[in-house]
Structure 1
Amino acid sequence: MIFGIDLSALLPFIAVGFAAQMVDGALGMAFGVINSTLLVSVMGVPPAQASAMVHTVETFTTAASGASHIWHKNVNWKLFGRLLIPGVIGGVIGAYVLSNIDASVTRPFVMTYLASIGVYLLYRAWRGKVEPREPKIIEPLGLAGGFLDAAGGGGWGPVVTSNLLVQGASPRTTIGTVNTVEFFLTATVSAAFIATLGWAAFTLQTVGILIGGLIAAPFGGLLAKRVPTRALMTLVGVLLTITSAYSVYVALTR
């Protein structure tokens, strides 16, 4: 017990935050999905509060992760500029929708789509054809990713990273850029949730996830830089398929 906080109760959330951020920093996705699944499905936290908690933590972890990617030169600044504004707009709309309307009905359909994208990425990695190409659909992707991230408690990385990879974007710079844009998205979404829900997101669980995430955040940029392109594509495909399929299962069996 330190400063009135039971460390044994905090450690599981530190571990989850650390693991989720390591995956997110290296592959450009899953921090929100992993934490939201834990909070909603295991802890019984309401979806709006869970999303607010995750985005509050992500404001800090994405700042550290984005700095790591910038340091390792993983950011495509042209792509950054095209994703930023649509992503923020979509995030504000999504936060408003989740705070006022039950958006859980659409979650199985979104996750089914993401699982199919994961399977396609595995197919591309298996074929070995992962030569980078310039993506064409960017702004609508940012808008949809921002909306689904706020409304679903996680989704910016899976939606934006995976779809850019499908279009042929380089995995290393795509992951770095999407992670860096995510800081501005999460800061905006957190502010929107605080405006609508108050300060309900600041709990003991939030502190634990934040500590674990901050410890892991600096390592993501290094991993994305060092792991080969085909291996990154495979890892993204596996992670996206498994997490999305599990989310569909949970949504349909409630």
Structure 2
Amino acid sequence: MIELISEHWHAVLPFIAIGFAAQMVDGALGMAFGVISNTLLVSVMGIPPARASAGVHLVETFTTAASGISHVLHKNVDWKLFAKLVIPGMIGGVLGSYVLVNIHADVARPYVMAYLTCIGLYLLWRAWDLPHEHKQPKVIAPLGLVGGFLDAAGGGGWGPVVTSNLLIQGSSPRTTIGTVNTAEFFLTTVVSIAFIAQLGFAAFTTVTVGLLVGGLLAAPFGAYLAKRVNARTLMTMVGVVLTLTSLYSVYRALS
């Protein structure tokens, strides 16, 4: 890896920047590394969608580990919520991986992204009427199952689906983001193992190296922002990012 970076550093730098930017957003908001990375890789850098998706999934195994550790150190994790999310999420990821191999999932993506756009707009509205007292979410395990499935089968969705729905139920933004980010490591690991089993390590390219370096550099800063930014600002940022990325995904899917 070091030789690859030293010999082709000028080619790796754009991907380092993409990985850094995507992980800063993901670490602070608990979502969007895959969506932002794939969007920039495909639309800006001209990387083929399959290659971009392969690289992003592999990188997320490392970035979610670094981000999760950072959230634990910053005490952003609700361990009871984590325990209810992680197993259903992994099961959903395995099922989604099977579907991705056997059934084309692109047909469902416009509908999923349209739904997420509505969630993003709702969060923007809720940010201005954020309750002072947070509630314990009631729908957790089914949410983890669906989020894990969509993440694997649709190429992304764990953060947007799980984080946004937990916030709508009244869960604290800081601990929700930290918990969802930490649980995502286990989901991504399971999905990546299935992905590598089918494609091998051929997906580990210059693109992957750049995303990995940028993502690992940004992981501690994202957790710090999640701890310091107030709940209303955080929810507004979640709503903006989710709405914009989802709208763009709808456009790309329908164009």
SS at structure 2 position matched to 1:104:
coil
Per-residue CA deviations over 1:62-114 (Å, capped at 9, x if unaligned) read: 11100110001000000000001110011111122222321111000000000
Residue pair 1:50, 1:153 contacting (<8 A) in 2 also = no
Which residue of the other structure, out of 97, 101, 104, is the alignment partner of 1:102? 104
Unaligned runs of 5+ in 1: none
Moved over 6 A (4+): none
Unaligned runs of 5+ in 2: none
- Deviation of residue 151 (structure 1)? 1.6
Q: Is 1:220–2:210 an aligned residue pair?
A: no
Q: Report which stretch shifted further, 122-131 or 140-149.
A: 122-131
Amino acid aligned to 2:72: I
Residue pair 2:96, 2:149 contacting (<8 A) in 1 also = yes
Cα separation, 2, equivalents of 1:220 and 1:250 = 28
- Deviation of residue 240 (structure 1)? 0.5
Residue pair 1:36, 1:154 contacting (<8 A) in 2 also = no
Amino acid aligned to 2:242: L
Which residue matches 1:45? 48
Amino acid aligned to 1:229: A
Cα separation, 2, equivalents of 1:131 and 1:11 = 44
Q: Is 1:81–2:83 an aligned residue pair?
A: yes
Cα separation, 2, equivalents of 1:201 and 1:162 = 31
Which residue matches 2:192? 190
Which residue matches 1:137? 139
Residue pair 2:20, 2:217 contacting (<8 A) in 1 also = yes
Which residue matches 1:199? 201
Cα separation, 1, equivalents of 2:195 and 2:75 = 32
Which residue of the other structure, out of 15, 35, 52, is the alignment partner of 1:33? 35
Which residue matches 1:3? 3
TM-score, normalised relative to structure 2:
0.94
Amino acid aligned to 1:45: P
SS at structure 2 position matched to 1:117:
helix
Amino acid aligned to 1:173: T
Aligned length: 251
Residue pair 2:38, 2:49 contacting (<8 A) in 1 also = no
Cα separation, 1, equivalents of 2:211 and 2:29 = 19
